[in-house]
Structure 1
Amino acid sequence: MRYLLLAFFTLIACSCTSEKTSSVAYFGGEIINPNDSYVVLYKNDEVIDSVELDENNRFFIQLEEGYKEGLYHFVHRPEEQYVLIEKGDSILIRLNTLDFDESLVFTGRGAEKNNFLIDMFLVNEDEEQLVHDYFALEPKEFDKKMDSLRGMKMEQYENLVSNFELSKNAKDIAKASINFPYYDNKEVYPHMHRKTKGLKEIEEIPAGFYDYRKELNYNDSRLSYFRPYLNYLSMHFSNMSYESCMEKCAEEPSVPERSLHFHTHKLKLIDSLVKKEEVRDNLLRNTAYTYLLQDHDNPAGSKEFITTFNTFSEECKFKEDVNNLYTSIQKLQPGNSLPEIALVKPDSSLSSISSELSGENTVFYFWSINQKNHMKRINKKVKSLRKKYPELRFVGININESQERWLHSLKMLGLETENQYRCANFNEISRKFVIRNLNKIIIVNPDGTIIDAFSNIYRSSDFKKVLKTI
């Protein structure tokens, strides 16, 4: 590995003077304060390579002849980011996990386009609060503000393409990193404006507000896993579903049926307008996940939705994933027994979650060593909740693989080991308990039957609601 890295760094040093004639590409770099031992490179959802960091926290990946040019993403758990790799590129990254995105820097051949992508990612993040404030403006004023923000980014884009030779593909993806967050904000605007202003109905949008839709490509397979593109299309199809329903449906559905109704419309629109399988499949999955998780407490609606979904997803590569999610959510309904999972105790012995029930009403919460701020915050929250709700037992489940690092964290946080466990298999617990974020808690009766499996530890209303049933 050491000699390969030396060769790679030599290649980086020569990259500015060499011509792009190589049929292979290289990706490597250094991770400061690593959270994990590995870096995994993906093309779409396919693992291209998984490499272990060396003793200097460096890694090296060679993409052999015949690799696909385009957007990749690399994962150093729990973080990930995009990298655009094209013919002859030799890209080196350096980052510090304490500030993953902000510290990420690309060097070597192919660096300029990737530094532009991470810059646009960070700028869009920084603008979120500003854009939120703009939602209160009237449509024409909001439009001017959005055009101004986009114009500043386009100046940076023009500076990039005038100073560096980029392929058409790289130019398109660079512009996509500007345009789709801009489009997304405009699609969100009518709903956020109504909410911000406390209006009962969505105000009429002036002609020309959505002119960008005329140039929209629903089938850009190069962007099929690019989050700004997918986020925009998802919001766009939500708006189209609403508009279509307001125009064609005889009457507005009742509140309990509204979400099911609109998401069913959305499935039909995606199926009719998106032809590229990868884009279509991702949008169908996104729509299904959103509905099933949002309406997790509506078993009848979920059953109707999954039946409809399956009629549109005969060839969808995520059909099994969506149906597994549906099944897991149904198993987490109140009154069902908590699904069995394997746990590891502080003494390294194996146990099961049913074996650790102690005849008390119990709250299970989840945390990770890799999310240090969350780790400290949630255990501080649990400490205060124990005082507030002494009738409840709080049990922490760590989702990491390293027994040694987990025990070190328990000691550092000053946690008693009596009510702390580590999951034996993250994939198992994530699937069975439908863990999509670590603020989730699961509350069970003394016999292990579920009271609520979708509460949030930071929502006091969830606790008050559940305590009424105990």
Structure 2
Amino acid sequence: MYSLKINHLFLIQSILVLTVLSSCSKKFDDEDYSAYFRGEIVNPTSNYVLFCKDEIVLDTLYLDENNQFIKKFDSLTPGMYIYRHNPEYQYVFFEKNDSLNLRLNTRDFDHSIIYSGRGEQKNNFLMQLNTKNLVDRNKLYEYYDASVPDFIRRTDSAHAARTTFYLRNKASINWSPDFDLYAKTMLDLHFFSQREIYPVAHLVRNNEDIRKDLPFDYYDFRKRINFNNEKLIDFSSFTRYLGVMLSSEVEQTEIEFDSETSFDKNIEKLNIIDTLIQNEKVKNTILDKIAFIYLLDDQNIVNNELFLNRYFEISTDKNQHNEILKIRNAIQNLKLEKRLPEAPLVDTNNKYVSINNLINKPTLIFFWTKNAIDHSDASHRRALLIAQQNPNLQIIAISIDADHIGWVNHINNHRPNTILELRTTNFQTLKDLWIINKIQRAISLNSDGTIHNPFVNIFDTNIIEKLSTAN
């Protein structure tokens, strides 16, 4: 019997090995662009994974009872894709006929990602490179305190070592030029960002302006960057670097900026992009991102109009103009001393409620979702702490989850009854009306229901002081 069990186990293992080997050596027709994507999510935050390209959701991959998913794509264009398991996301690159298996643990998302199957090597390399970059960020403050020669020596040495790691893997894996674009971008722009940040970070940390000590060729690395490549529009290494570079350029300029607003700096960012980028699609996308961030940051109505006039002069994307105007109009509806627009909200009895009928004392509203349980727990703890320091403050927590029964069960088991819990029945409508662009966003109201501060971060260390002026 024991021998039979061993033989049976050996047979199963042999079949699995043969299956993998035959899969790896399988020949595909030139017209066959099929691909497989399988995965297991340990400690999932929801029951699905979103598969995306260029910020467009291509498919929703639902988890089974084992927290696994599988999807066969009959035709998948080779390229870089994104999978999202809220609140996190990561990249995956598919070549023709790749068959990838993913495993990750949400409690250590980026560091836990492992791929297997056809296409595993290049994707595991990308995760290794990403991890090395993340580790670097923990020691950058030490670099930014260094003198100019020491900073350049350290970063050049680290960049050279990372390049050797990249070249060794490129030779052994023999990946495609399309994949190489992303690998090289992730490698180089990580170190180029450090160069951009250094002069400003050194000034802030050491009160020493070292710009005059920079070598004449300090910024020559910018000449190596292709700012017009459409494939990089939504690649975070590129967009993150571009944001850092724009801030660096603005800080270097001789223009005297108004310290009270971000208006002048963002106008200058628009002008830089207009000069720097020739590709219309790339230019429009970056202009849209600048406009969106600016409108959420500077709540000066006159400045907003001046900013938008310049934005409209440069941007040629008429469809996106309408989206930006919608945001502008929604923000105007959140002006101080106005009331919140009514949004679709229900209580635990699934009865619709009017937000303006609930307010009779200074109120803080924050948002949460079971799909980001760590944030949910932290925001509720933070809200309770704020309430303890301000007993006259009413706190309202709004869930953005669609499942009413699941929401009720969760708050009955896990949430304190000192916080008024509501749920939105249509998050998109709520998002558009109240400009909920980040889950940590909060709103402060006066006791008469008028808006005190429409853009508060519940984790802001100065939030108690900011709320104290509500009446």
**Shared fold by TM > 0.5?**
yes
CA apart distance, 1:300:
1.7
1:124 and 2:133 matched:
yes
Equivalent positions of 1:206-221 (< 5 A) are 206-221=215-230
SS in 1 for 2:116: strand
Matched, 1:273 2:276: yes
Give the aligned partner of residue 264 of structure 2.
261
Kindly indicate whether residue 326 of structure 2 is the aligned counterpart of residue 335 of structure 1: no
Give the stretch that moved more between structures: 275-284 or 225-234: 275-284
Deviations 1:245-271 (A, max 9, x none): 42xx5xx244346x3222212212212
| TM-score when normalising by structure 1 | 0.89
> Compared with structure 1, are the counterparts of its residues 12 and 442 closer, same or farther at alpha carbon in structure 2 (3 Å cutoff)?
farther
Contact conserved, 1:31 with 1:97, CA < 8 A, in 2?
Answer: yes
Asked whether the equivalents of residues 38 and 51 of structure 1 are also in contact (C-alpha less than 8 Å), the reply is yes
Match of residue 423 from structure 1: 424
Any conservation in 2 of the 1:79–1:100 contact (CA below 8 Å)?
Answer: yes
Q: Percent identity?
A: 28
Find the aligned partners of 1:291 and 1:46 in 2 and give their Cα distance: 23
- 2:98 is matched with which residue? 89
Deviations 1:153-190 (A, max 9, x none): 22321231232221112222211111111111111111
In 1: Cα distance, 2:112 partner to 2:405 partner = 28
Give the residue type in structure 2 aligned to 1:282: T
Match of 1:238 among 223, 238, 247: 247
Answer yes or no: is 1:380 the counterpart of 2:388.
Answer: no
Matches within 5 A, 1:64-213: 64-65=74-75, 67-199=76-208, 202-213=211-222
Hey, what does 1:284 align to over in structure 2? Answer: 287
| Whole-Å separation in 2 of the counterparts to 1:254 and 1:23 | 55
Q: Is the 8 A contact 1:95 1:104 kept in 2?
A: yes
Residue 203 (structure 1) shift: 4.5
Change (3 A) 1:441 1:10: farther
Task: State the Cα deviation string for residues 334-388 of structure 1 (Å, max 9, x = none).
Answer: 1111121111222233323234x14222111222222222222222222222221
Could you say which residue in structure 2 is the equivalent of 1:315?
317
Contact residue 264 and residue 305 of structure 1 kept, 8 A:
yes
Gaps of 5+ in 2: 1-15
State the one-letter code of the partner of 1:226. Answer: F
2:34 and 2:72 in contact (8 A); partners too: yes
The number of aligned residues is 454
The alignment status of 1:30 with 2:34, answered yes or no, reads no
CA distance in 2, matches of 1:10, 1:392: 66
Q: Distance in 2 between matches of 1:328 and 1:12?
A: 54
Does the Cα contact within 8 Å between 2:80 and 2:92 map onto a contact in 1? yes
Moved more, 460-469 or 227-236: 460-469
Larger-Rg structure: 2
Distance 2:329 2:214 in 1: 41
Q: Structure 2 counterpart of 1:42, which letter?
A: C
AA aligned to 1:420 is: E
Question: Residues 291 and 86 from structure 1, CA distance in 2 versus in 1: closer, same or farther, beyond 3 angstroms?
Answer: same
Which residue is equivalent to 2:11?
none
CA distance in 1 between counterparts of 2:63 and 2:27 reads 30
**CA-to-aligned-CA distance 1:213-243 (integer Å, 9 cap, x gap):** 1222111222121011111123223333454
* Distance change (3 Å), C-alpha of 1:242 and 1:386: closer
Distance 1:315 1:380, change over 3 A: closer
Shift of residue 277, structure 1, vs aligned partner: 3.6
**Aligned partners of 1:70 and 1:222 also within 8 Å:** no
Query: SS at the partner of 2:139?
Result: helix
Deviations 1:175-209 (A, max 9, x none): 11111111111111111111111246855421222
**Structure 1 pair 116–277 and aligned structure 2 pair: CA distance change class (3 A):** farther
| In structure 1, distance between residues paired with 2:105 and 2:97 | 27
Could you list the per-position Cα deviations for residues 291-318 of structure 1 after superposition, in whole angstroms to 9, with x for gaps in the alignment? 222223x222122111211222232653
Does structure 2 retain, via aligned residues, the 8 Å contact 1:399–1:423?
yes
- Which secondary structure does the structure 2 equivalent of 1:255 belong to? coil
Aligned to 2:24: 16
Residues 202, 254 of structure 1: alpha-carbon distance in 2 compared, 3 angstrom cutoff: farther
Task: Determine if contact 2:386/2:464 at 8 Å carries over to the other structure.
Answer: no
